[in-house]
Amino acid sequence: MSEDTHTPDIVRPPQAIVDGLREVGAATCGGELKKLGIVDPTILGPTAFTPGKVVAGPALTLQFLPIREDVYNQDEYSGPEQQLHRHALYHTQPGDVICVDARGNMKSGVFGNMMLTFFQGRGGQGVVIDGCIRDFPIVKRDLDLGLWLRGVTPNFHTQTAIYPYAVNVPIGMNDTLVMPGDIIVADDDGVVAVPAKLGAELLDLSSEHAEWEEFSRQRLLAGGHLKRYYPLSDEARPEYEEWKKTQE
CATH number at residue 28: 3.50.30.40
Does residue 109 belong to any structural domain of this protein?
Answer: yes
Give the integer Cα–Cα distance in Å for 233 and 46. 36
Answer whether 129's CB lies under 8 Å from 101's CB.
no
- Identify the domain containing residue 184 by its residue range: 15-195
**Helix, strand or coil for residue 131?**
coil
Give the integer Cα–Cα distance in Å for 39 and 32. 9
The pLDDT, as a whole number, for residue 76 is 62
Instruction: Indicate whether 166 and 229 sit together in one domain.
Output: no
The pLDDT, as a whole number, for residue 207 is 86
Give the integer Cα–Cα distance in Å for 66 and 161. 6
How do residues 66-123 score in pLDDT, each as one tens digit? 998 888 777 666 666 778 999 999 999 999 999 999 999 999 999 999 999 999 999 9
Give the integer Cα–Cα distance in Å for 183 and 60. 10
Please report, rounded to a whole number, the percentage of residues in the chain having pLDDT higher than 70.
95
69 Cβ contact partners less than 8 Å away, ≥ 6 residues apart: none
Q: Which of 12, 21, 15 is nearest to 192 (CA)?
A: 21
Instruction: Indicate whether 189 and 217 sit together in one domain.
Output: no
Cα dihedral: 190, 195, 199, 204 (round 10): -70
Instruction: Indicate whether 90 and 150 sit together in one domain.
Output: yes
Radius of gyration of the chain (CA): 20
Neighbours of 118 (CB within 10 A): 15
Q: Which of 195, 210, 228 is the last residue of a domain?
A: 195
The pLDDT, as a whole number, for residue 126 is 98
Q: Which of 15-24, 30-39, 144-153, 209-218 has the lowest mean pLDDT?
A: 209-218
Does residue 178 belong to any structural domain of this protein?
Answer: yes
Q: Phi and psi for 34 in degrees, rounded to 5?
A: -60, -35
Mean pLDDT of 138-148: 97
- Structure pTM? 0.90
Instruction: Indicate whether 134 and 27 sit together in one domain.
Output: yes
Instruction: Indicate whether 69 and 139 sit together in one domain.
Output: yes
Instruction: Indicate whether 161 and 57 sit together in one domain.
Output: yes
Helices (H), the chain: 15-24, 26-35, 84-90, 113-121, 136-142, 199-221, 226-229, 237-247
Give the integer Cα–Cα distance in Å for 94 and 43. 23
Could you give the angle at which helices 15-24 and 26-35 cross, rounded to 10 degrees? Answer: 110
Give the integer Cα–Cα distance in Å for 208 and 138. 41
The pLDDT, as a whole number, for residue 54 is 98
Strands 146-149 and 47-48: antiparallel
Total structural domains within the chain:
2
**Helix, strand or coil for residue 129?**
strand
Query: How confident is the prediction for the chain on average, in pLDDT?
Result: 93
Report the alpha-carbon angle 112-129-153, nearest 5: 45
The more confidently predicted of residues 41 and 80 is 41
Residues facing 47 on adjacent strands:
149
How do residues 184-221 score in pLDDT, each as one tens digit? 999 999 999 999 999 999 999 988 888 898 999 999 99
Q: Which of 172, 195, 218 is the last residue of a domain?
A: 195
| pLDDT band at residue 5 under the 50/70/90 scheme | low
Instruction: Indicate whether 89 and 24 sit together in one domain.
Output: yes
Distance of CA 115 to the CA centre of its chain: 18
Q: Which of 98-102, 149-153, 239-243 has the lowest mean pLDDT?
A: 239-243
Neighbours of 242 (CB within 10 A): 10
